[in-house]
Chains A and B, each alone.
Chain A
Amino acid sequence: MLRSREECLAVADAVLALVPGGDAEVTVFDSDSSLTRYALNAIHQNVAESSLSLRLRLVAQGRVGVAELRGEAARPERLVATAEEARRLAPVQETLPPLPAADGGSDESDGYSDATALSSPEDRADAVATLTRAAAAASLQAFGAFSAGASQVVIANTRGLRRHARRSTASLSTVMRGDDGAGYADRHAVDIGSIDVRGLADEVIETTLRNQRATVAEPGVYQVVLAPYAVAEMIEYLGYMGLGALARQEGRSFMRPGEQLMSTMVTIGDDAHDPAGMPFPFDWEGVSTRPVTCIRGGVCADFVYDTPTALVDGVASTGHALPMPNTSGPSASHLYAAAGDDDIDTLVGGVENGLYVTRFWYVRDVHTLRTVITGMTREGTFRIEKGRMTTPVRDLRFTQSIVDALSSASGISRTRSPQIGEDDAVVLAPAMRLDRFTFTS
C-alpha cells in the first residue's frame, strides 16, 4: 500500500531542509506493485514488491552531484551526504541548465484508481481462473501475466517547485496455444475494474483457433493491416528514434520540420493528459507536460523538450524530461497515433492480396536515421485475400523503414487501444492499413 501524500511531501521537505547550499531537486518515488504469471493453465509465479526511493540532485558552485537511495538506506541525512560527496568531487562546469521554477500546472490527473492500488492476489487469481477455464474449454493452454500497481511521485526543488501525483496501472496479457499455433491479446487500464477479462478471453481464443496449422508465406513487399499491438511498437520506436529535441540537435533525427514524410492520414504526438492513455501531469523535472503534435497530417512538426534542450532552442520545455542529468534527452512517453474513420473490416476489405499482423516481436532499430527496424510477427499473422482474412501464415521477419511504411498508410481505425512499451512508454494506437511493408525472411 502506498504511503500518504503528506508523508511523501514531508520526506521531500526534510531533504531540502538539510541541503547545505546551492540548488537542489529531490524526487520521492513510492511504489507498490503485484504481478501474477500463469503458464499451462496454472499460476507459476506470483509476486509483490513495495519500496520508497529517494533521489537528490545538488547543484552548487558549478558542480552537480546525484544520489539515489532505495530501501533501508533511503533516509534524508544519508541522501544529502551522498549527493554532496558526489557534487564535491565533480569538476566545475561553465554553464548548467537551471532547475525549473513552479509553472502553476495542476497536479490533478485521471491516472489513479484506488481499485487498482488496493486489488488483491485473490482478485488476480480469480481473473486468471476465468482465462484458464475458458482456455481449457476451447482445448487450449493459457499463458500470461496480470499486474496491478500504484505509485506516487513527489518532485520538489529549492526554486519553489513542489509537485505530487499518483498513478496506477493494471495490465492483463494472454497468449493461448493450441496444437499448432497461438494467439495473443492484452488490456491496459488505470482502473482494474474496467478490464474485461471475458472479452479478452474471447478475442484471444478466436485468434488462437484461427491461427492453427499456418503455412509459409514468401518474403516480399505486402499490403498489410497491422493490429494496434503492432502499430504501437512502430510508434514507440519512432519516438525513441527522433521525436526528442536532443536527437535533432545532435543530427540523429529523421524529422525534417515542415517536410511531408508520411501519408496525410498520419498524425502522431504525445499527450500525457489523455484519459485513455495512462495520464500523468508532469515530468521528472516537475515541469507540467504539454501536448505536442510531432507529425501533423504527415508533415514533421514539433519535438518534445526538457529544460536543457529547450534552452538550446530558445523555447519552453514541453515537460518531457527524464531524471536529470542524463545523456538521453527528452522522451515522448505518452505517444499516440490519431484515430481515423475506418473499422477493422473496412481496413481488411481494402486489401486485395496482403497480410494481417496481430503483433510484432523483438523489434530493434537497424538504422536510426532512416527509421529502419527489424523484428518478427508473432501469434497471429493471416493472409488477406480479396478483402477477407483467410488462412494463417507462419511468422515472418520484417525489415522496414517506419517513415516509408507510414508514407503508404491508406486507412486508420477509429478505435484505439493503449499499449505499454518496453520502457513503460504508453502508446495509444489504432489499427492501420499500410500499402507497402517489407518482409525479409
Chain B
Amino acid sequence: MSLDTAVRCTEMLLAFAFLQQSAEHLCVPGERRLFLPRIALSLLLMAGFAAPWMCLALLLHALFILQRFDGPYNGGSDRMGLLILSCLCVVHFMPSPRAREAAFGYLALQVLLSYFIAGWVKITNPDWRTGRASRDVLLFSAYPVSESLRAGADWPRSVCLASWAVMLFELFFPLALLSPRALVFGLTLAALFHFVNACLFGLNRFFWFWLAAYPSLLWLQQRLGAGQ
C-alpha cells in the first residue's frame, strides 16, 4: 500500500468516524451548532475535496470541541481521532517525503503501542493475572451495558481465561508486523476485539477510530519490508 493510498484510506475512515460521532451529538440541542461544522468538513474530507485544508480545519475545530467539554468527550477514542488528525496534518503540510513518512509512521507506532502498553500495564498487575480486575470491571465498573452482564463476574475461571487472552493478544500484537499475512490476521483479531468491547461495554467509538488508524500499519509493514 503506497503512502498516498494509505493516507487517503485513513482520511475516509476518519471522516466516517467523525460523522458517526457528530451525528450522535445532534440529539443534544446545545451541541448541534458545535458539531454541524465537523459534519460538513468530514463530508468534504470523505469526498477528497481539498483534503489538507479539511484536515487542518477539522483540527482547529477540534480545539473548540476540547474546550467546550474541558477535555475529550469520550477519553481514548477522542484522543485516537485527534492523533490521527494531527498526523494527517503533518503528512499533508510537510514538504519533505521523509518527514511525511515519519509522521505517518508515528501514527502506526502509536497504534502498536496502544495495544502493547495496554497489555503491559495489565500483565504487570497481579489483579489482572488472577482475573480479579476483569471481574471488577464486570462487577462494579460503569462499562457493562446491561445488568445481566454483571453476572459474568460469577464465572471466575472463564473471566481469568478471557483476561489472559486479552493480555497476550495485546502484548504480542506488534509481532503482526512480521509478515503481511500476520498483519491482516492481527488487524482482524484487533477489530474483533474492539467489536466485542463495543457490544459489551458500549465503546462503539473506539471501534471506528482504531479502524481508521489501521491503514498506517498496513503501509508501515510494506514500507519496512521494502526497506530490507
Do A and B bind? no
The interface of chain B, by Cβ under 8 A from chain A, is: none
Chain A residues engaging chain B, CB cutoff 8 angstroms: none
